[in-house]
Every structure is written in C-alpha cells, then in structure tokens.
Amino acid sequence: MTDPVKDFFDRVRSNSKNAPKLNKPAPKMNVDAPKEPRKYQVGRPTGLDGRRLRRSLDVPSLGAALSKEISRRGWESDLADGWVMGNWTNLVGERIAAHTKPERIKDKVVYISCDASVWATELRYLQRQILKKIAERLGPDVIVELRIQGPKQHRNYQGRQWVKPQGSQDTYG
C-alpha cells in the first residue's frame, strides 16, 4: 500500500522547475589525504601598546558623508554664502566688523551696509584683500564683488500723520 502524502510530494517535486535531488549520494569524506593545518592566530592582534586593535569597518567619516551629501544636493553655494556671513569678523577684523554688516548675498555679490561713510571708504580700500581671503577659503568665483553702501539717509518726515505736500515747494516770492 502506498502513502498518498508521499506520492503527492513526489509528484510536486518532479513537476517543479527546480526539483531537489533527494536521491543524490552524500559527498564522501576524503579521509586518506592529510589536511593542511589551518593557520590560526594565537591571541588577538594588538597594537604597539599591547591593547587590542579595533576591527576596521571601512565606514566613511562623518565629514566625508556630509560633503558627499552636500554636493549631491547642490548646497555648496548656499554653504559658502553662510560661511561669509558667519565669518565676517574674521574676514575684516573686529574693528571694521563692529561698524559694517553683510546684508545679503545675491548672484555672487555681497551687499554690505556701513554705519558711516568713513567705514564704507575703509572697506572699499580693503575690498581686494577681502575678496582674496574669500577666494582662498571657498575657491574662485564664489564671491566676485562687494557692494558697499554708506549709512541710510533718514527722512525728516515720518509717521502716520505726515501728508505729502501738493504742488511746488517754492516758498520764495
């Protein structure tokens, strides 16, 4: 009498594309040939100071991973702009930085406002040196120009109640 379950599984195995070879003989062990002795390391590998060496996992450093991601997303110019804004004191010195402020960076141009026209003139004299420092740190053509503006002129007329005068402002005659 045959076993129906065994017959079913034999039929499924024979019809499958990747049929297992159940009747294949087991590989014979080669007892006659001597084995080569395995080379084992005695103990753990250590450094010069006797401490155990760490396993190298070949994991990239955080800086390398960040720089790769920054370049992949195209953030180099934004980071360069942020570096200029954040390191303004280092670029121009503390004395000048106290009276000048980079307002914005647009199309490779830094717009700078100054407290007084004297500081604007001083900054214009140092413009070439500042651009050279930026180029050394960030590379050429990141920042190509400094637009230096003196102090803002205040209007004498301010407030909600002020009304623009009509006609000519000629008070003589």
Query: What average pLDDT does the chain have?
Result: 81
Instruction: Give me the mean pLDDT over the 68-74 stretch.
Output: 87
Domain parsing of the chain, residue ranges:
73-149
The CATH H-level (homologous superfamily) assignment of domain 73-149 is: DnaA, N-terminal domain (3.30.300.180)
pLDDT at residue 14, as a whole number: 78
Query: What predicted TM-score, i.e. pTM, was given to this entire model?
Result: 0.53
Residue labelled with tokens 């003139």: 121
In this predicted structure, the answer to whether residue 121 has a pLDDT above a threshold of 80 is yes
What CA–CA distances, in Å, run from 54 to 16, 39, 45, 108? 49, 21, 9, 46
The helix/strand/coil state of 111 is strand
Q: Which two tokens stand for residue 98?
A: 């106290």
